[in-house]
Amino acid sequence: MSMEYFSGFTDALRITFVQMMIIAIISIMIFLYGMIINMRKWGLGSTGYGLEPSSGSARVFLKTLIAQIRSEGHGQPFLVTLVLDILLQRRILRRSPLRWFMHITIFVGWMALFIISLIMFAFEVLELIGFDANPAALREMVSVPNDVFSYILLVGITIAILRRLFITNIRENTIAFDSILLVGLTLITITGFISDGIRNGTFWGFGIDNATAPPAALFHVVISLLFCIAYIPYSKYMHMLATPLTILANKGGE
């Protein structure tokens, strides 16, 4: 999105690209603080490899994790674990192909959109500091991949919603945390489609006046930063990071 694209609901509430960068940095700081809290908690149980349980040290946890990953004598090679167990999620596939398809579409869609957003952000920053990065041209280049991965993510979210609505045991075991995560992810995905649709005049714009594109995009960006970055360490979304770390530490063990 260009520098001008980040504007507010009114002239009095206008937000510049620099201010959006500040909001992004704050979201990242909240995320990192939450990660430190979690690693301190995990560090309470860190033992082995000459490391004693600490009073809550993120450093002890990281040292123990690295030592466990680098150790030999059990499990499978690191790359096998990384590709098959984490990226391709074969353990979920063994349990349920439908659940695997849901997870992989959400994972692929989310991560691809996140990477695209990071690249766009980097080009905007380069343009801002004086380089001829031409973010507008890049935006056009990634528009099709952005749409493709957005629909992939939407497919995964739709399956997750349908499973909780129509599969009895899943519906009965769904807790408030699950609902909050699913509603939040759905809201972010739909507002992304709508803001882009308003800007480009496509189906997802629902005929809404193009003048509302900036505030629609602003709403989408802000809730994405807060929900998909800042909120992760404090929510059940933390399993996206904790589970891969556990699998790596166990070298693919169940």
Quick one: 1 exposed, middle or buried, by C-beta within 10 A (0-12, 13-18, 19+)?
buried
| Residue 50, pLDDT score | 45
The whole model's pTM is what? Answer: 0.82
Q: Which residue has the higher pLDDT, 77 or 48?
A: 77
Domain ranges of the chain: 15-71, 77-249
DSSP string, 51-104: B---SS-HHHHHHHHHHHHH--SSS--HHHIIIIIIIS-HHHHHH-HHHHHHHH
| Residue 7, pLDDT score | 47
Q: Name the nearest CA neighbour of 240 among 61, 107, 84.
A: 107
**pLDDT for 109-146, tens place per residue?**
999 998 998 888 888 778 878 888 888 888 889 889 99
Angle at 159 between CA 230 and CA 155, to 5 degrees: 75
Q: How far apart, in Å, are the Cα atoms of 12 and each of 7, 8, 15, 106?
A: 10, 8, 9, 38
| Residue 170, pLDDT score | 84
| Residue 49, pLDDT score | 44
What SS3 class is residue 50?
coil
Lowest mean pLDDT among 39-53, 139-153, 193-207: 39-53
| Residue 112, pLDDT score | 93
| Residue 55, pLDDT score | 53
| Residue 154, pLDDT score | 95
Looking only at Cα atoms, what is the longest distance across the chain? 65
Contact 217, 194 (CB under 8 A): no
**pLDDT for 206-237, tens place per residue?**
888 887 877 788 788 888 888 888 888 888 77
Contact 40, 252 (CB under 8 A): no
Contact 54, 165 (CB under 8 A): no
| Residue 140, pLDDT score | 85
| Residue 19, pLDDT above cutoff 50 | yes
Percent of the chain with pLDDT over 70: 87
